[in-house]
Structure formats: structure tokens, C-alpha cells
Chain A
Amino acid sequence: MNCELAQERIVTAAYSELADELIHELDRHLAACAPCQSEREQVLALRLLANANPVVDPAPNLVARARLRLDEALDALPPRRWYERWSQKLKNNVAGLQRAPVVALLLLAAGAGAGALGGYQFAQGRAAHAAATQTVAASTTTEQPSAAAATLANVASVSAIVRQPNSEIVDVSYNQVVPRQIRGSLDDPQIRQLLMVAAENSASAGVHDDSVGLLAAECRAGHSCQPSGIRDALMTALRHDKSAAVRQKALEGLEPYVAQDVRVRNAVLEALLNDSDPRIRTAAISLLAPVEADTSVRQVLYSVSNSDDNPQIRNVSRQVLSRVPEIQ
């Protein structure tokens, strides 16, 4: 991914419009590109700044006045006659009918196409069958089907299929998944690598949950939680995981690093601003309380104290803010 594309995606990600599969790609680019990281901070700052021009509900007087004026205008309109309504209905029906020939033509074309394809395949099958019975073909597969049948249970994907001309013989190339198990300490780099893979990619919700939980516990215990490895995995889980329980665990794991690592602090600030779960937003406030003097933290707390849907969160963020000296 180049920086131009990354910067477009930063904006769409800031507004939660980036597809899930592109978020990880963007995170990887950001981890290695300082200018794009700065770009992202500026976009997030703009989002905060723009909230200083809030959307407010229209005053009741304005609503009442507008409604009254509209009622008067509607009353002044002559009622629509039955033939006007009928002509409108007719117009709508005609518009519907205009599309009918197009749909019929498409159906006809699709039917003709399917028929031709079916006929072609049927003729091909008959020709191949006839050729196979005439030549008494010897098997040219690299593995006999009977031997392969026993091992086909773990097929992950089929990578290529080549049919021998005028015969029923095909060469099928496939990949297999071989299950493996490894046992070791949580401090073992290999085990940690596997836990990080599970945290990012596991299809099983349980495995995913367990891996984030274990990584978070390691970080909390201060067991060499490097900025580029486990911390990154926890930040990604906090930002993008669909499960609130997993995001909660990731947040707890990041707690010891809020003060020293600005990237962790930014991830927690994003959670406070954007997370859908009020418990996580509340937990994020308590994590940020020790670093309340940071300008970004104050800005976010200020924004949350004004605009969060949850009154308790607004209240807590105000309490934290009230302990901080004025913005310089």
C-alpha cells in the first residue's frame, strides 16, 4: 500500500467506513510509516475540532413556527381530485411496465445462454466417455484415487485441475492441512507468535478470546510485552474486535503502558471516543486518569463530557477533567 492510498483510507477508517479486511492492511502500513501516523493523528484531531461546531436541536419556537406556516400552505392547496390521483397511479404503472420488456429480454438471454452451455457440456461429456472406453486409458495420475481417498479428509484447497484431452482423466493438485500441536511456556517466542496469530486470524471465537486474554495477562504481569509484538496485537483487538469481552481484555492488558507509550494512549483514546460499549468507554476513562495532563487526553475527555450518549460517562469524564488545571 502506498502513502496516497493509506491517507485516503485513514479518512474512511476515521469514519468507520473502511472494510474489515482493509483495516489490518492499513494498521500494518501505519506501524511502519511515521508520516501516515502523523496524518492519522491530524485527521482524528480534525474530527475532534469539528465537534466544537455542534449540531443542535431546533428551538421549539422554530419548529412550531415552521409547522404552522406549512399547515397554512397545505390548507391553501386545492385538494387533489380523484382523476388526478388516478392519472398519477396510471403514470406509476406505466413506468413499471416500461421496465417489463427489459426484464423479459434479460430472462430470455439468460435462458438461451444456460441452454447453450448445458448442451455444450453434455456433448463434451459424451465425446470424452466414448474416447475413454475406446482407448482403455492407463491411469496417468501421480497418485491413485484409491490411495488418495484415505488422505482427502484434510484437504484445504484445490490449486489446479487439468483435464487430459478427449478423456475422462484429470490431474488435480491440492493442498492439505496437517494438524500440529506445540507445548511450551507463555514466555516462549514460538508460543507467543502462535497466540498473536490466533488473536488476529482465528476463525473460532473461543480460541480468539483465549489468545487475547492470555496475551493481555502477560502484558499486565510485565512479562516482556514489546511495543512491536504483543502490544500491537492488543491494540488491534481493542480497535477492531467485534466482541466487547475481547476488547475489554485487550484494554486491561494495555493498562501498564498508557503512561509510557503514546500509541497505546491513542488506541485507548479512540476506544473512549468510538467504542460502542459504555463499559469499555468507562474503563478507558479510568485508564487515562493518570495521564490526564496530556493535551490529547484532555481534548478527548472534553469532547466525551459534551457529546457521549451515556450520562454516567459524561459525568465521570467531567469529574476527571475538573481535577486538571485549565487548558493552556
Chain B
Amino acid sequence: MGGSNRETAGQAQERLQAREVENDLIREAQAGSRSAFDALVRQYEHQVLRLALHLTGSEHDAEDIYQEAFLKAYRYIGNFRFECSFYTWIYRIVTNLCLDQLRRRKTRREDHAVVLDRAGDEIDLLAAVSDNRSFSNPARELDRKVLAGKIQEALAKLTPRERMVFELKHYQGLRLRTIGEMLSTTEETAKNTLFRATKKLRAQLAEMR
């Protein structure tokens, strides 16, 4: 759609300034500053948790991925050479950890269609987005939950890589080129994986009808 990617000169300037500030933080963290690293963690922790939680469907797993990702980032921040954005770099670490988690789950044939909290109890994610709607009603809420469950089931049947590409594109809204960079592959491969994922999802959801 026209206009969705346009950026004014002011916005570009702001983005560049923010990038400079971030680069300074990275240099300080590389020089051993813990407070600079903490600032970087604060900047990305919500995005990391959001991605991990939606992908794994488990607060416990999301917390583990968060922990492991930032510890890895801390250990290897000296290797960061400003060849890509820090955002891409940290997402690459997180997506690799999530892929490992999804592969382990496939091997164990676990199939979480619901989100679990630390104690293993089911969390109602939909409640978080539906309570403030004045027109909501119990029947519709039930329909939504059933539908969400079916979609989670269909997503769980994708291969880990297809699941990851669909997640990054559909739910996180990233460009295919960025997804390719994060998954160490080409934009074309990411595009083909997205195509396969949508095709499989449609077939899965049609069967469930």
C-alpha cells in the first residue's frame, strides 16, 4: 500500500541519532560497562520476551530464552562489529534459541496449543486483549478462544523454520530481507518459506473446519 514505508527527513534524522546513541552504548558495553549493557537490555527485553512467548507459548521457556540470549549477548558483545544493526544481531541470537526450543519440542512431540505460566498453568492471553471492549460478550469470547486454539494447533504443525518465518513476518511485521539476515539465509529463501507456511496453514485450517 502506498505511503506505508515513507519516512520524513525529520524521522530519518531521529532514527540516525537513536542509532548513534545505541552505538555509543554498544562501544561502552564492549569496553566493559555493565550499565551500558543494562541499558541495551532494557531497550530490547520487551521485544525479546514478546517474540519468545508467542513462539513457545510458555512463560517458562520464554524466560529461559531471555536469560540465555542476553547472557550470550553479554559474553560475545566484543564480537559485534557494527556490520548489521544491534537489533538484527540480538534477534539472530533469540531466533536461534527459539528454533532450538521448537526443534526440541518437535522431537519430544509436545504440542502446546495453550500458553503456560511458570507453574505450568494455562494463561488466557486473549483475556488481555478483550476485557476493555464494550461490545464483548461471553459467546464471542468463547468463539475467539476456540479459533485461537485452532490457529495455535495449525502453527504447531509447521516445521520450526516455517513457524519462525511466519512468526517474524505475520506477527512481528519484519521485512523478508531482515528475516533472511536473522536466519542467515537469503530474502528469496525466506519468501519461499513464507509461501510454504501460508499454504500449509490454509490446508490445516481447512481440515479443522
Interface residues of A (CB under 8 A from B): 8, 11-12, 15-17, 42-43, 46-47, 49-50, 52-58, 62-63, 65-67, 69-70, 73-74, 77, 79-80, 85, 88-89, 91-92, 95-96, 239-244, 247, 270-271, 274-277, 305-306, 318, 321-322, 326-327
Give the residue of A42, A56, A244 whose beta carbon is less than 8 angstroms from that of B128: A56
**Contact of A69 with B63 at beta-carbon distance under 8 Å, contacts A43-B198, A52-B151, A56-B125 already known:** yes
Q: How far is the CA of A91 from the CA of B46 in the complex (A)?
A: 32
- Interface residues, chain B, CB within 8 Å of chain A? 1-6, 30-32, 34, 37, 41, 45-46, 49-50, 53-54, 59, 62-63, 66-67, 70-71, 74, 78-79, 81, 118, 125-126, 128-129, 133-135, 139-140, 143-144, 147-148, 151-152, 155, 169-172, 175-176, 191-192, 194-195, 198, 201-202, 205
Q: Which of B6, B34, B135, B176 contacts A318 (CB 8 A)?
A: B135
Residues of chain A within 8 A (CB-CB) of B66 are 66, 70
CA distance A318 to B137 in the complex (A): 13
Are A67 and B41 touching (Cβ within 8 A)?
yes
Cα distance, A95 to B81, chains bound together (Å):
10
5 A-B pairs besides A54-B148, A277-B3, A326-B140 with CB distance below 8 A are A62-B53, A66-B66, A70-B67, A240-B2, A244-B3
By a CB distance below 8 angstroms, the chain A residues around B144 are 52
Q: Which residues of B contact A67 (CB under 8 A)?
A: 41, 45
Question: From DSSP, what is the main secondary structure of chain B's interface residues?
Answer: helix
Q: A11-B194, A63-B45, A74-B34 known; A92 and B201 CB under 8 Å? A: no
Residues of A within 8 A of B198 (CB): 11, 43, 46
Contact A63 B3 (CB under 8 A): no
Q: Which residues of B contact A306 (CB under 8 A)?
A: 129, 133
Closest 3 CB pairs of A and B: A88-B78, A242-B2, A58-B49
Q: Are B3 and A53 in contact (CB under 8 A)?
A: no
Q: Are A85 and B170 in contact (CB under 8 A)?
A: no
Q: Which chain B positions have C-beta within 8 A of A241? A: 2
Cβ distance A32 to chain B, nearest Cβ, rounded Å: 22
CB pair B202–A15 under 8 Å, yes or no, is no
28 A-B pairs whose Cβ atoms sit less than 8 Å apart in the complex: A11-B195, A12-B195, A15-B170, A16-B1, A16-B4, A17-B191, A43-B202, A47-B170, A49-B147, A50-B171, A52-B148, A52-B151, A55-B50, A56-B128, A56-B129, A57-B46, A58-B46, A58-B49, A63-B49, A65-B63, A65-B118, A70-B70, A77-B74, A79-B32, A95-B81, A275-B3, A276-B1, A276-B4
Q: Are A50 and B201 neighbours in the complex by a CB distance under 8 Å?
A: yes
- Report how far A177 CA is from B126 CA in the complex, Å: 61
A50 x B4 contact (CB < 8 A): no
By beta carbon, the residue of chain B nearest A72 is B67
**Smallest CB–CB gap between A300 and chain B, Å?**
15
Q: How far is the CA of A2 from the CA of B202 in the complex (A)?
A: 21
Looking at A43, A67, A241, the one whose CB has the most chain B CB atoms below 10 A away is A67
Question: Are B129 and A54 within 8 A (Cβ)?
Answer: yes
Q: Could you say which residues of chain A place their CB within 8 Å of the CB of B79?
A: 88, 91-92
Residues of B with C-beta under 8 A to A66: 45, 49, 62-63, 66-67
| Contact yes or no, A274 B34, CB < 8 A | no
Q: Which residues of B contact A55 (CB under 8 A)?
A: 50, 54, 171-172
